[in-house]
Amino acid sequence: MSRIADDATTAWIRRYHPSDGSAVRLVCFPHAGGSASFFHPVSVRFAPEVDVVALQYPGRQDRRTEPCVEDIGKLADLLCEEIRGLSEKPTVFFGHSMGAVLAFETALRLEELGANPPRAIVASGRRAPSSRRDERVHQEDDAGVITELRALNGTDAAVFGNDELLRMALPAIRGDYRAIETYTCPPGRRVRCAVTVLTGDADPRTSLAEAEAWQDHTEGAFHMRVFSGGHFFLAGHQDEVNAEILQELDAARAAGS
């Protein structure tokens, strides 16, 4: 397997502030319809002391001509192969919404392979992997998908006012919704690493009980913090969210030294 340099960027791996001298790594998994650039502020906060890697899924931004991967398992397989190419370094995964599930599934694969699995997962804005709801946004027409996006309030308002941008974004959004809405996970499936869950108290897609159920999916330490706000609560609590991430990064650094 070819190795990816600590300051390199690829189709999948985005580094907005590359540094080859960091002692710990943060890998960021975007939400449904999201892109690597969503985590640019996280990179601003932590780089260059932390190697901040933001993942870019196919079907969006500069990868918009590539077909979306509409299956969580297949996408996790691909992400696992990419992350295996990174250097050995204490690592924390941070995923929001669909990204939290992908972080979980990718961590499971890396643990099984013994290939530099994460020391912790920070799962934001997503119910536990085995908490199932009958959601079918991916089967809605374009107007229905847009209604869902407005309800979650996580899409730049400028996109809604620009037909061209919206047409470009909808295929990736629909593909991601198909992936996450058809995903299933057995109740007993667990990662060995620690899990920290961040959730909004008014998230229409995740109840507090569904968020707390993440503790059934880890053999490691479990911590949950509730913020005021909806599905994209982290936009209004960036400093507090960063503090939670920093705590896991410090623990990973200490464990790896």
Active site amino acids = 97
Residue with tokens 């299933």: 184
Start-to-end Cα distance in the chain: 26
Q: How far apart are CA 235 and CA 160, in angstroms?
A: 19
Contacts of 205 (CB under 8 A, 6+ apart): 97, 125, 126, 127, 133, 135, 152, 231
Closest CA to 100 of 206, 3, 178: 206
Alpha helix segments (H runs only) across 22-141 = 40-46, 72-84, 98-113
Count other C-beta atoms under 10 Å from residue 241's C-beta. Answer: 22
Q: How far apart are CA 222 and CA 216, in angstroms?
A: 9
Give the DSSP per-residue string, 96-117: ETHHHHHHHHHHHHHHHHTS--
